[in-house]
Amino acid sequence: FGFNGGSTLASGWPAVAAAGSSEIAASVALFLWLVIDWIRLGRPGLVGLCVGTIAGLATVTPAAGFIQPWAAFVLGAIATVLCYGCCELRKKFSVDDALDVWGVHGMGGFWGTILLGALADPSECGDAATAPKYCVNPGTVTRSGEQFGKQLAAAVLCAVYSFVVTFALLKLINLVVPIRPSAMGTQKSLDMTEHGEEAYTPTKAYAMPQKSEETAALESNAQV
């Protein structure tokens, strides 16, 4: 809410619309993600709840200040299907991706940016002086084929730029400090392989203390 609503730098209708759209998209994605997990895994999970919420927020963010509530609902549903599929694809190919950043933030934000061109207010909202009262952010972005093309071009350009720069930086960093831990993919603790000691996990399981005869007798009498 602070990021999307606060990006307007004013407490006006666009800020209210952005915050409302963020809530709607996040709630829809949260619910649908739980439903998919429940159907596929037989139970809902806290991780799915959190990831689904972030998927909705990441997807609606580029469009939050320019769309109606119904469009936020649509984006939340699209975010669920799209991001869930990307996360499963990442798992299938065993690609390293901490917290599903690519599948949720990357692809969600990518498609949210593109779909702004199709889900923004109609053309009559383009002129702030004559725009109807229902317009979210009159005089700014309106939906059209031209706007959709602009959003697509901008999203692709940003994706290519981010990939190239990130790849180059990771390669440079890897020359100095290896990024992938040596214990990755094994049963060894990173604490042990990287630092030579274990911080929290004991090296052997704790043994349960034996009950004394007096304690056992007291428990037996309590049950009776």
Residue 201 has pLDDT above 60, yes or no: no
- What band does 220 get if pLDDT is binned at 50, 70 and 90? low
- What band does 161 get if pLDDT is binned at 50, 70 and 90? very high
Cα–Cα dist 44/131, whole Å? 44
Please name every residue paired with 120 in a beta bridge, in sequence order, or none if there are none. 67
Mean per-residue pLDDT of the chain: 87
Q: Which residues contact residue 104 at a Cβ distance below 8 angstroms, ignoring those fewer than 6 apart?
A: 51, 54, 55, 58, 83, 86, 87
| Average pLDDT of the segment spanning 189-212 | 63
- What band does 6 get if pLDDT is binned at 50, 70 and 90? confident
pTM: 0.79
Residue pLDDT, tens place only, 71-118: 999 999 999 999 999 999 998 998 888 788 999 999 999 999 999 999
pLDDT given for residue 13 in this prediction: 82
Helix extents (H) in the chain: 13-41, 46-60, 69-92, 107-119, 145-176, 190-195, 213-223
* Residue from 86, 65, 63, 89 nearest 76 by CA: 63
CA 193 to each of CA 173, 180, 199, 200: distance values in angstroms, whole numbers, following the listed order: 20, 12, 12, 14
pLDDT given for residue 219 in this prediction: 64
Cα–Cα dist 24/67, whole Å? 12
Contact call for residues 131 and 139 (beta carbons, < 8 A): yes
pLDDT given for residue 196 in this prediction: 74
Which two structure tokens, joined as six digits, stand for 81? Answer: 């299907």
Long-range contacts of 11-14 (CB under 8 A, 24+ apart): 13/136, 13/137, 14/65, 14/136, 14/137
